[in-house]
Amino acid sequence: MHEPPANSFASGVVPAQLLKQLPKVDLHLHIAGTLRPATLAELARRHGLPLPRPVDRLYAYRDFYDFIDVLRLSARAVRTAADFERMAYEAIEDAAAAGTRHVEMSFNPQYYMPTQVPYRVQIDGLAAGVQAARSDFGCSALLIASLDRGLPMDSAEHAMADIISQPHDLVVGIGVDGPEREGPPAKLAPLFERAGRAGLRRTAHVCEDNQTPQEAPPSNVRDCLLMLGCDRLDHGYNLLADDDGVHRARDGGVYFCVCGITSVKRNQTRRLQGIRAMREAGLRLTLNTDDPAMFHTDQTHTLGTVLEGCGWSWKEACEFSLAGVDASWLDADAKRALRQRFEHEIAALTDAPGTSTPAIQ
Ligand SMILES: [Zn+2]
């Protein structure tokens, strides 16, 4: 006869400490949103930029537009290679502290055009931060150059020219973010086609639930896959309104890099319901932080919030852990090695005394 487990959380709350120990990947985070408030305040002061309020309330937003203003401040405050290095280093330090072992961070070259920071300065600084943090914290990182739909197309074209003419080993892909109502995916197709020819991987923010299904329609998922050549997507919740679209994405095996915390607090419950419904529909999901410092979260907190909100437990936590590896843009050897390491660590955590859990598939 089996003894009942002393501390089973097979279908209950997983302790935060165990979620922290679970090895994790973060594929959807914006480097501008990782800036610690104290770092942003220091850089703003150094570059003569006023803060909208004291540093301890810098990331307490009145509304969505106030959040955008703070994001814009962060873009103006990061100017030198040393600033970019520090931003990347601290982002990875904070990710590693939450048990994240690999990140793929988006940065928006267009954000730094008004202050005339050359693209080369941006990527040299970011790369220095990535390399130092990998050695100090054992967390690897790749970079995604992201375009903002909300900015003029000529600046997107300028950014793409820089991305293609100044390749870097760490910049493995491109993305697009910003409000979808600013234009359909087709608008960016020529730029994405050039990126594809240059060997860059492609992702896109699509069907985000902070926008209506009219502003961010399910058909955008199909267009991102077919017209932009994306091999994974960020968000995707509004796709649930289109059964055929869900079936196509499921059958195509596309990964959606969803985020458990949203800047719009009143949308938080809907966000969790969307994530749950996407998984129940058979879509492949990875779980990510989006703007961790600015949203007051990290991967452990995000995972705990999603498990609790969706009624999930250790099994789903481990699924997210391995899906992050599988959907990453690491090369095949690095991906295989990371997966083996994750499987080994998950097995050890699963077998640990007092952590009786179902077998992990
Ligand atoms: Zn995002």
**Would the pLDDT of 258 be above 90?**
yes
Is residue 1 one of the residues assigned to a domain? no
165-200 pLDDT tens trace:
999 999 999 999 988 888 899 999 999 999 999 999
CA–CA gap between residue 29 and residue 103 (Å, rounded):
8
Q: Would you place residue 321 in the very low, low, confident or very high pLDDT band (cuts 50, 70, 90)?
A: very high
Instruction: State the distance from the centre of ligand 1 to the C-alpha of 1, rounded, in angstroms.
Output: 50
Q: Would you place residue 263 in the very low, low, confident or very high pLDDT band (cuts 50, 70, 90)?
A: confident
Nearest to 258 by CA among 315, 215, 306: 306
Is residue 359 one of the residues assigned to a domain? no
What integer pLDDT is reported at residue 64 of this predicted model?
A: 73
CA–CA gap between residue 237 and residue 221 (Å, rounded):
10
Q: What does the block give as tokens for 10?
A: 């097979």
Instruction: State the distance from the centre of ligand 1 to the C-alpha of 290, rounded, in angstroms.
Output: 5
Instruction: State the distance from the centre of ligand 1 to the C-alpha of 33, rounded, in angstroms.
Output: 9
Looking up residue 335, the CATH number of its domain turns out to be 3.20.20.140
Nearest to 85 by CA among 25, 47, 141, 45: 141
Is residue 9 one of the residues assigned to a domain? no
Number of domains into which the chain is organized: 1
E strands, 72-156, are: 100-107, 140-148
Instruction: State the distance from the centre of ligand 1 to the C-alpha of 344, rounded, in angstroms.
Output: 30
Give the residue, 264 or 245, on which the prediction is more confident: 245
Instruction: State the distance from the centre of ligand 1 to the C-alpha of 65, rounded, in angstroms.
Output: 16
Is residue 233 one of the residues assigned to a domain? yes
31 with 106: CB under 8 angstroms? yes
Is residue 360 one of the residues assigned to a domain? no
With the C-alpha atoms ordered 257, 112, 330, 157, is the resulting torsion angle positive or negative?
A: positive
Instruction: State the distance from the centre of ligand 1 to the C-alpha of 358, rounded, in angstroms.
Output: 33
Instruction: State the distance from the centre of ligand 1 to the C-alpha of 162, rounded, in angstroms.
Output: 22
Is residue 3 one of the residues assigned to a domain? no
**Would the pLDDT of 126 be above 70?**
yes
Q: What does the block give as tokens for 70?
A: 């703070």
Neighbours of ion ligand 1 (CB under 5 A): 290
The domain of 192 spans 21-351
**Exposure string (b/e) for 37-73, b if CB count within 10 Å is 16 or more?**
bebbbebbeeeeeebeeebeebbebeeeeebeebbeb
